[in-house]
Amino acid sequence: MRTSGRGLGRRGIARSPSPHTGVSPLSGRVAVVTGAARGVGAAVATALSEAGARVALLGREEERLREAAAGLPTPTLCVEADVTDPAALDAAAREVETRLGPADVVVANAGIAVSGPFRDTEADLWQRVVDVNLTGAANTARAFLPHLTRTRGYFLQVASTASFGSAPMMSAYCASKAGAESFAQSLRCELEPDGIAVGVAYLHWTGTDMIGGIDDNPVLRALRAHQPRFARRVQTPARVAGLLTDGIVRRAPRVHAPPWLRWCQALRPVFPALVAHISRRELRCRSGAEFAAGTGAMGAGGRADWTAHRSAPTPRPGGQAD
């Protein structure tokens, strides 16, 4: 852990940099990023730190968290925590406040995915995706709402084009991301009277380990092959992090990465029929065995979470662990 300094008084984040001083509106603020050990989470932590924020990096892989925090220009805090564990998040929230101050920004980024046919996916793994991506987002909001209430802060839920794509072979991921989007939109209405802003970030293909070997995965390859050329482009995590940081500064209700995704919002009603048409054709052309070959947790982060989850002690009646 690297920490220094005392908490500053907070009245919410300015919507734009000062034209007179050029000082970042995030300077001295406290930001919390879940799923910060790698990928988009680590990149967002870097971008926020470079914008002057004190950053708390939360995630499952402590060593990776420390690597992500190493060399960042502002005080940081690394907390190993499972977003599906409310007690761990409550403890993390207390530690963040003690060491950095109350959070002005919370980025609910933690997420995992599983690909492959629903019938071939372990029930516990399918449930784990929903627990991390949806319930974990709610747990994160609940733990840090006392902070955001005091700071009149900003909560950013990282969603995906999977929120409205409903792609086959990705049922847990699509269902959980659609749920996370809906959760954030509902939360926005509830928290607005308290001066808390809530945003939803829509991400498309991003070059994290979740889609590593994209052309070797029959599910991802089929999904991507039927998209327009510009939509197949894989963005870097740094590019996405920059767009998300801009959205955080603006306290934006929606952040699109890449920006052209904003034009897709008006077309959302047609996407289910379009995806279904393409999917039926694709499924007729390929064997079930080919799709089943790609079944499992996606990416190093997803596999690390699944391994840690399976190796965790099983609670016994009465709250004790074996």
Question: Which has the minimum average pLDDT: 221-235, 278-292, 304-318?
Answer: 278-292
Catalytic residue among 173, 205, 291, 306: 173
Question: Which has the minimum average pLDDT: 49-58, 72-81, 165-174?
Answer: 165-174
Reply yes or no on whether the pLDDT at 299 is more than 80. Answer: no
Write the single-letter amino acid at 291.
F
Question: Which has the minimum average pLDDT: 22-31, 236-245, 285-294?
Answer: 285-294
What is the average pLDDT across 101-120? 92
Topology, domain 30-311: Rossmann fold (3.40.50)
Q: The whole model's pTM is what?
A: 0.85
Reply yes or no on whether the pLDDT at 253 is more than 70. Answer: yes
pLDDT value for 206: 78
Reply yes or no on whether the pLDDT at 19 is more than 60. Answer: no
Question: Which has the minimum average pLDDT: 23-27, 88-92, 317-321?
Answer: 317-321
Tell me whether residue 154 is one of the annotated catalytic residues: no
How many angstroms separate the CA atoms of 47 and 54, rounded? 11
What is the average pLDDT across 273-301? 66
- Cis peptide, bond prior to residue 258, ω within 30 of zero: yes
Task: Place 30 in a pLDDT band, splitting at 50, 70 and 90.
Answer: very high
Write the single-letter amino acid at 145.
L
Q: Domain spans of the chain? A: 30-311
Reply yes or no on whether the pLDDT at 287 is more than 80. Answer: no
Residue with tokens 């709610």: 138
Question: Which has the minimum average pLDDT: 59-73, 107-121, 277-291?
Answer: 277-291
- Cα–Cα nearest to 219, from 116, 114, 112: 116
For the chain, give the secondary structure using H, E and C.
Answer: CECCCCCCCCCCCCCCCCCCCCCCCCCCCEEEEECCCCHHHHHHHHHHHHCCCEEEEEECCHHHHHHHHCCCCCCEEEEECCCCCHHHHHHHHHHHHHHCCCCCEEEECCCCCEECCHHHCCHHHHHHHHHHHHHHHHHHHHHHHHHHHHHCCEEEEECCCHHHHCCCCCHHHHHHHHHHHHHHHHHHHHHHHHCCEEEEEEECCECCHHHCCHHHCHHHHHHHHCCCHHHHCCECHHHHHHHHHHHHHHCCCEEEECHHHHHHHHHHHHHHHHHHHHHHHHHHHCCHHHHHCCCEECHHHHHHHHHHHHHCCCECCCCCEC
- Give 165-178 pLDDT, tens digit per residue: 777 788 999 999 99
Give the chain's length.
322
pLDDT value for 261: 81
Q: Is the dihedral of CA 262, 265, 267, 270 positive or negative?
A: positive
For residue 242, give both structure tokens.
Answer: 């920059």
Reply yes or no on whether the pLDDT at 8 is more than 80. Answer: no
| Residues whose CB is less than 8 angstroms from the CB of residue 62 and which lie 6 or more positions away in sequence, other chains included | 78, 80
Between these two residues, 230 and 195, which has the higher pLDDT value? 195
Reply yes or no on whether the pLDDT at 191 is more than 70. Answer: yes
- Give 303-315 pLDDT, tens digit per residue: 788 788 888 775 5
Task: Place 214 in a pLDDT band, splitting at 50, 70 and 90.
Answer: low
129 touches 137 (CB < 8 A): no
pLDDT value for 9: 38
248 touches 201 (CB < 8 A): no
pLDDT value for 163: 82
